[in-house]
Homo-oligomer: A and B are copies of this chain.
Amino acid sequence: MVRHLQPHIRYFIAIAEELHFRRAAERLHVAQPVLSRAIRQLEDQLGVILLQRSRRNVSLTAAGSVFLEECYLAREAMKRAEQRAIKANKGESGRLIVGYTDFAINGVLPSILATFHSHLAEVSIDLVRCDSHEQLEAIEGGRLDVGFLTGPVSGAGLRQVTVHEAPYMAVLPYHHPLADLESVPLKALSEEVFVLGNMHTWRHFVSQIKALCFEAGFIPRVVKEAPNSDSIFGLVAAQMGVTIYPDCDLNHNRRDIILRPLADTEAKLITEMVWSSSSTNPVVARFVDVVTRTRTNRVPRCRQERGQ
């Protein structure tokens, strides 16, 4: 144990507990005169008599009692400081700033965080809702420790692990003719009009959708851009158009839209956990470690059927 309090304080505590200079000196492994002097100095500095000592008896004064209690608190505070620093160094304590997208928070992130919390309850996690490209900047700039964002990701100094892959689904209004099919060929959507997320916050995702359509041989006609998932689904339900969306929990809560797998593509929306390889925060390594080791537990999901 490191000794961060002045020796005077340690000595005072020992003497106050023993109420005996020689015994306290033995306990502290110092010579008795050392204590006589230390207490005198302490009392001089404070201008307060702490110990009432006669030739035969040592007792605490009222001020000494008060000081002793407070010294205990200070000593505990100092011990705690050491221990927390050591734990923080091992990544077992501290703070972690985690970024997430809508896809992540509606997908795997909650269970990941719950798992991590059960492993290392002393780490406090700050969650920040942040678009994928903003997260990447923040991670590179050191403002974010870990990001959960839409891949693919490339960047020097970034490390990543895929935490989730969600197949793309066709999202159709309830009475749309294509909803009769078990699965929807991507090309079948070429004549449809699309509702998509706007380019500002959905940059990563929308450009992937567009690439997907391009590969299938058409350019999607976007009639509406929406800022968030609810708006997109609402507009589809309102028969403003169709859209393509990854298969995540969020979809299955609505009864006014139909989801169908895409037939002729294996493309998936990839959610990556990303962190900086130059990160100095040990909690990051710890977090990544826990997440990768427990990554296997996926939440099973049942297929939605139209009509009841």
Contact A94 B66 (CB under 8 A): yes
Indicate the member of A8, A62, A82, A95 with the most B CB atoms within 10 Å.
A62
CB-CB nearest in chain B for A48 = B89
Stretch from A167-175, A226-234, A280-288 forming part of the interface with B: A280-288
Alpha-carbon distance between A64 and B9 when the two chains are bound, in angstroms: 25
Complex partner residue of A67 from B6, B62, B64, B85, CB under 8 angstroms: B85
Contact B74 A81 (CB under 8 A): yes
Q: How large is the interface on A (under 10, 10 to 19, 20 to 34, 35 or more residues)?
A: 35 or more
Residues of B within 8 A of A2 (CB): 45-46
Contact with B along A14-45 (1 / 0, CB 8 A): 00000000000000000000000000000001
Contact B63 A282 (CB under 8 A): yes
Task: Using CB atoms and an 8 Å cutoff, list the residues of chain A in contact with chain B.
Answer: 2-6, 8-9, 45-50, 52, 61-67, 70-71, 73-74, 77-78, 80-82, 84-89, 93-95, 280-283
Alpha-carbon distance between A9 and B82 when the two chains are bound, in angstroms: 11
Residues of B within 8 A of A78 (CB): 5, 9, 74
Residues of B within 8 A of A86 (CB): 46-48, 63
